[in-house]
A and B are shown apart, each in its own frame.
Chain A
Amino acid sequence: MIEVRKLSKNFGPVRAVQDLSFTVEQGEILGLLGPNGAGKTTTMKILTCYLPPSSGSATVLGYNTLRDSMEVRRRIGYLPEKNPLYYDMRVEGYLSFVARLKGVDPAGIDGAVGNAIDRCGLDEVRRFTIGTLSKGYQQRVGIAQAIVNDPRLLILDEPTIGLDPRQIVDIRNLIRELGNDRTVILSSHILPEVSQVCDRIIIINRGRLVAVDSPENLRDRLRRSSMTRVRLRDASARESAESLIGRIEGVLMTRGEAGDDGGAVLVVESAPDRDLREEIARRIVGAGLPLLEIYSEELSLEDIFIRLVTEEEH
């Protein structure tokens, strides 16, 4: 569906994307994840044929973005990050203008516009001027213009940026629904979004590829240690508990901190795939210390992300 090979893009001395290679399969929802300035938008602009790559190539739906740009452009839908719209136009008029530009068959324009309006839930505002709509509706109009030519590939740059939580949920559902029958690439710097919507994630940082995998696999693969949290009722018990736990085989590190309720929390890091909860509990209770709770902690995608990105930088 999409094949990106050794893609690089320089803006003068700035290397926005370096040596990026990845593929996207048909029907997939792919997330491009990375901090601001990582090269997500540049990559998308190359895929949509707006920017020519400095070196390397991108093939979209079998067409090269540089040589056969018209063929690519006919078959994709793109929502840029800033969601630029003609604020003076009405929703319906704007969508039929876009449909005409995208080369939708003249007889099919009304149908295509109606379909986009239905799918994006724009029916009640179809005659409104775009400039008067709320940000959430404007975002829907942006998505509607992307899908009006019924593209097989949708490229959405930060589709939920600047929306309120309720609108974010709506847009996310819409993307998931649109992803049922087409391929979607979306970028984000917000992790929960990507992990909830995407089948696969590409993490990029400073223009380079850091990791590619499904959210679950990323989590598994990058779990280098397991963490167990131990909560004690009494802060004074902290030191003795720390030394007790430190003696357990397999414990890599113990870090204690004062809890907000006058108690203490110990964070125990151990080798991966070793569950030490039972052993810790036995020793602490055996020593008569006031154990409140004990649980193992999953490494969140957020931790993985930060870890990957900081490792990369060192």
Chain B
Amino acid sequence: MRALIAIYRRELAYYFQSITAYVVIAIFLLISGYFFFSIFRYYNYLSLQHLQSASPADGLNLIDGVMRPLLGNISILILLLLPLLTMRLLAEERKQGTFELLLTYPVSDAAAVGGKFLAALSVYAVMLAGTLAYPVMLAVFADPEIPPIASGYLGVFLMGASFIAMGTFFSSLTGNQIVAGVSTLGAALFFLIIGWAAPFVGTGFAAVLAQISLLYHFESFSKGVIDTQDVSYYVLLAGFFLFMTVRSLESARWRG
């Protein structure tokens, strides 16, 4: 545990002492701010239109009209940015040879992987916390429902955690950061869009595809439902990739 904390602190220090974390966070906030601005402007426009016409304003509330599209866009943004954050985690150390030395210390593979995963997860949490400014602004000018916002954030956080676990895994396979980053992006995208094939396959298989799709499990979070099925999906997905990371390190040892 102490080793895990030491590695966690060192990784976190690396992120914040180098420019990496600042650039990723700044770009993330800039673009998500633009998302918020444009989504909110559109919402505003729709509201005004509905004021003039007498038609019923279905779905015209801050959750469905602003927060859900915003979090949906943010999930695409993290899909693109998180692989950049995780690609160096193990790949760089493998290339430099520092990882070999690390594994001759009395540190378990799991502690090394865990410390690195948690450090990247913390940077991501800071990123995401920055976007809380938008719902706070909504709360200042209007009266949004808080629980669906909170569950939406939990969903995005869990989705990011599974991306980071994938990134940790791919980073353990290679000493090449680009390869690690691109593989992570590919895998994450694959899990995100796999559900698209559901309508074209048999009903039994369609259910399977839907169940392994990241988007399918994200749906209920953004609606304000925290279902254990969805929570366990993300936790299992992240856990699976972290487990695979530890295994891949072990196999690297046997191969020499």
Contact = CB atoms under 8 A, between A and B. Distances in A.
Q: Do A and B bind each other?
A: yes
Given A84-B100, A84-B101, A50 B6 contact: no
Given A80-B101, A88-B14, A11 B255 contact: yes
Given A51-B253, A85-B98, A88-B14, A78 B6 contact: no
Most interface-central of B18, B103, B108, B255 (chain A CB within 10 A): B103
B138 to A, nearest CB: 40
Contacts of A97: 6, 9-10
Nearest to B112: A101
Contacts of B18: 88
B3 A49 contact: no
Nearest to B14: A88
* 5 shortest interchain CB distances as A-B pairs: A84-B97, A100-B6, A84-B98, A73-B106, A48-B104
A101 B107 contact: yes
Contacts of A100: 2-3, 6
A88 B104 contact: no
18 contacts: A9-B256, A42-B256, A45-B256, A49-B104, A50-B100, A51-B253, A73-B105, A78-B101, A80-B100, A82-B97, A84-B96, A85-B98, A86-B98, A97-B9, A97-B10, A101-B7, A102-B106, A103-B2
A74 B107 CA distance: 9
Contacts of A78: 101, 104
A143 B1 CA distance: 26
Nearest to A71: B106
Contacts of A290: none
Interface of A: 9, 11, 16, 42, 45, 48-52, 70, 73-74, 76, 78, 80, 82, 84-86, 88-89, 97-98, 100-103, 106, 145
Contacts of B255: 11
Interface string B1-19: 0110011011000100110
Interface residues of B, number: 25
Contacts of B9: 97
A185 to B, nearest CB: 14
A286 B118 CA distance: 88
Given A84-B97, A88-B17, A50 B2 contact: no
Contacts of B141: none
B254 interface: yes
A103 B5 CA distance: 12
B102 interface: yes
A8 B210 CA distance: 50
A221 to B, nearest CB: 34
A51 B256 contact: yes
Contacts of A86: 10, 98
A80 B3 contact: no
Contacts of A84: 96-98, 100-101
Interface in B77-102: 96-98, 100-102
Contacts of B3: 100-101, 103
A93 B256 CA distance: 30
A149 to B, nearest CB: 9
